[in-house]
Structure 1
Amino acid sequence: MDMLNVEIISKEMIKPFLPTPDHLKNLELSLLDQLAPQYNVPLIFFYQNENLSSFNISQLLKKSLSRVLTIFPPLAGRIQENLYLDCNDIGVYFVEARVHAGLEQVIKEPRMEELQQFLPVEPLGQTDDNAILSVKINFFDCGGIAIGVCFSHKITDCASFVAFINAWAATCREEAEIIRPTFDLPIRFPPTALAASGVGLSVGITKGKIMTKRLVFDKEKLAKLKQIGTSNEVQNPTKVEAVSAFIWHCMIEEARAKPNMKKTSFAAVHVVNLRPRAIPPIPGHAFGNCWGAAFAFLSQTEDSRDLVSKLRSGIREINDDYIKKLQNGDYSSDLSKWIDFSKNDTEVCNFSSWCRFPIYEVDFGWGKPIWVCTATTPFKNMVFLMSNQSGDGIEAWLNMSDYDMEVLETHYEQLN
């Protein structure tokens, strides 16, 4: 199959409409920002469009982006030495491109090498001036649009970023009220000198070859997986628990089947949003990284059929006590687990669920997206879970070796 032809039209920097006020010029990174991995998180929003010209859309997006940046100044600034954000209004990297193909042609049978072309930068790449946010507007011949965005995980998590994207969309629609973010997470989670030194920054990141594929779990598959995951301990598995347990089980059994198996244990790590778990809850509009890692373990000899209860138990440990430890600068427990994984040759599977984030509500004025996806990230055995457009299914985006992907796809096909 021929490679998609994506032609770059223009590149520029979009600056905030108003200068950032002095009291927001320098923002400390929080402890959780300091510990966050340095890479670009990719999201691509696909829209149908039959009414607006590419010129009008371009002008609307640029004007509204400039205006919304005045209330999200970190995204137009630059990171300084894992210590603070210099909100210097340098701006957001903004690219426009023409796609010489139809929108339906791309999303009907998505290919990762094509999806990557809709992004402004690589996951481990950066612009010449280290932009925190990069945007690429792709105009299809049919009138359809793909908005590819990459944001630095160093300053924000997906919950905050989706809030920003929705604020940008609301600004584009000229909504009267926009939920303004707060920047007090460094007060809640004060930075530390040790974290500033870069301890833990590259955990899990690889520059080796990784295959990325999507597995779609419709409501029939989810019902089957929830039935499989039901036990005396957990009688009502969630969709996320059921899919996570299925993927983790497949990876465990695949590892155990290898003739040169040396793994002594297995672990699943689930990223958990801390905001609703704090007492009292941290507001959803608190901007920045606000997540913790929930761990579940299985020994070499344990049965891998009842994994849902292990996942749920691990996630329940992310409570107010856990959050208070982080607020006191104590992240040694999480760090020691990662070190032990390496020492003990533990097989780790990582999960991040975006299912509760309103990614399908991002409406710039020409309708809600018909599809939202992610792309390759530089983490082996990393799984991102996203709701489908109707909300009754889950799309799992898996990053792993060719061999592991082949085995997992075989298990997936057996669900039919």
Structure 2
Amino acid sequence: MLTKLLRFGRRQLHTIVSREIIKPSSPTPSRNRTYNLSVLDQVAIETHSPIVAFYPNLDQSSLDKTPELKNPLSKTLTQYYPFAGRVKKYRPTFVDCNDEGVEYIEASNDSSLSDFLQRSNHEDLHPLFPNDLLWFDPHIRGDSEGVTCPLAVQVNKFTCGGVAVASTLSHKVGDARSLLNFINHWAAVNAKKDTSLINPHIIPCQGIDYSKLPTYIKARSRDGCVTRSFYFPDQKLNDLKAKVIAMAKEAGQPIEKPTKIEVLSWLIHNRAMTAAAKNNSGALKPSGMAFPTDLRSMMVEKLPRTTLGNLIVVIDFPTKNQSELAPQFTVGEMRKGKVAFQSIPNVDTAMEIAANMPPEVAQETSKRLDECYIYSSLYRFPTSDIDFGWGKPVKLTLGGTIKNLVIFYAAPNGNGIEASVCLEKEDMEILQKDPELLAFC
């Protein structure tokens, strides 16, 4: 397959070189043949989460530093055996851990990595990912019975010897942390590092069908949307914190020690809503904020960060008027939501709460979240240290994001936060020129 990307007058050629199936290096024990999906897995949205990490060629003596990636992948799949199984494309309740393996694709791009990163936007990253498995794209490969593999990977090579390693995982089988843990593990095996402390923690679940429960976040189109990145250095973030503290104090609702993510979420939401209002004859469009939050470290009984599956809950609240765009409101509501989830004793209780949610409440939650801007933070996640033995990535990002989704990453240089923002094109045109946002970039 040959893909052409036209950016700044130059046509880039991206070519699929090979495809093969990589199976686990050791067979999965029969006792682990069925991996039951939890209630949180089953209500997760039917989509694929796409992550790509870019590596420059620091060793100019070799233009191909990827020949050994397959064996480490095979060894890693032995630990992450559900990823090498097969699952129904729609409304699955379990993974058949049959060791049929994952698709491993190699591709080449006729530009250097630096040129590619300079020329390309988020909308141009599709060719880097296997089989268009990005978010809600429908091109999910499966057999005639609708069975597919949860995971696929693609290794993209550039003329300079730089590499982009892209992985995409069914959200029914794991969340972003699950995928990042897998990529870190694969990288550590390739770099011949000890993986005993990062082996996946797998929780056994009962085989119960929750597939009729509604998903909390519906599929969103990205038609007419664009994604842009904004960089906020630490010093500017400190200035933003000071501004938020002063505004909250003046309003008589002081905030203690706001975090970088809290103040940045408020800033971007405030300015994005303002941009949308300008395109709506000045009228504020009622919306909301939603924060997918990792349960692993929130509950009374903590779970290892390497726990496999969907362990995400969503904090959400409305933003219907100007008062609900104030920083003290945003930070206060975020903290209220966290306190509520921090009172959950353990994962069994969390699963029970989700399973027993009345259908009308679940439907209302789903409807409410459909109107929200989603703020997802990978800031504290293991993103910048994914080292295959080639050094740290110069960039890591999710590909092809969706309408009104904001993702926070740690800046590759360790100084500040990068925010990937996807908005309707007209709103983005205003946001990119907004002096109140750019003052902190």
TM-score by length of 1: 0.89
SS of 2:21's partner is: strand
Q: Contact 1:32 / 1:289 at 8 angstroms: preserved in 2? A: yes
Q: Contact 1:121 / 1:150 at 8 angstroms: preserved in 2? A: no
Once the two structures are TM-superposed, the CA of residue 408 in structure 1 deviates from its matched residue by: 1.9
Which position in structure 2 is the counterpart of 1:305? 326
What letter matches 2:16 in structure 1?
I
Gaps of 5+ in 1: none
- Alpha-carbon RMSD: 2.4
Change (3 A) 1:361 1:38: same
SS of 1:58's partner is: coil
Aligned pair 1:383/2:391, yes or no? no
Which position in structure 2 is the counterpart of 1:127? 141
Q: Contact 1:27 / 1:85 at 8 angstroms: preserved in 2? A: yes
5 Å matches for 1:54-133?
57-80=65-88, 81-122=91-132, 123=134, 124=137, 125-129=139-143, 130-133=148-151
- For residues 324 and 124 of structure 2, what CA distance do their matches in structure 1 show? 40
- For residues 281 and 416 of structure 2, what CA distance do their matches in structure 1 show? 36
Which position in structure 2 is the counterpart of 1:330? 356
Q: Contact 2:220 / 2:403 at 8 angstroms: preserved in 1? A: yes
Which position in structure 1 is the counterpart of 2:19? 11
- For residues 341 and 363 of structure 2, what CA distance do their matches in structure 1 show? 15
Once the two structures are TM-superposed, the CA of residue 62 in structure 1 deviates from its matched residue by: 0.5
Change (3 A) 1:371 1:30: same
Change (3 A) 1:409 1:318: farther
TM-score by length of 2: 0.84
Question: Among 159, 165, 171, which residue is 1:153 paired with?
Answer: 171
5 Å matches for 1:3-402?
3-49=11-57, 50=59, 53=62, 57-80=65-88, 81-122=91-132, 123=134, 124=137, 125-129=139-143, 130-178=148-196, 179-184=198-203, 187=205, 193=209, 195-197=210-212, 199-200=214-215, 203-206=218-221, 208-230=223-245, 231-232=248-249, 233-257=254-278, 258-259=280-281, 261=283, 263=285, 265-300=286-321, 302=323, 304-306=325-327, 307-321=330-344, 324-328=349-353, 329-332=355-358, 333=361, 335-340=363-368, 347-377=371-401, 379-402=402-425
Bigger Cα displacement from structure 2, 239-248 vs 77-86: 77-86
- For residues 202 and 391 of structure 2, what CA distance do their matches in structure 1 show? 30
- For residues 288 and 87 of structure 1, what CA distance do their matches in structure 2 show? 15
Bigger Cα displacement from structure 2, 40-49 vs 228-237: 228-237
Q: Contact 1:36 / 1:154 at 8 angstroms: preserved in 2? A: yes
Once the two structures are TM-superposed, the CA of residue 61 in structure 1 deviates from its matched residue by: 0.5
Q: Contact 1:295 / 1:315 at 8 angstroms: preserved in 2? A: no
Residues 234-266 of structure 1: CA deviation (Å, up to 9, x unaligned): 132211111111111113323444228484x43
Once the two structures are TM-superposed, the CA of residue 353 in structure 1 deviates from its matched residue by: 0.3
What letter matches 1:305 in structure 2?
A
Change (3 A) 1:62 1:320: same
Change (3 A) 1:325 1:33: closer
- For residues 429 and 67 of structure 2, what CA distance do their matches in structure 1 show? 44
Once the two structures are TM-superposed, the CA of residue 51 in structure 1 deviates from its matched residue by: 5.2
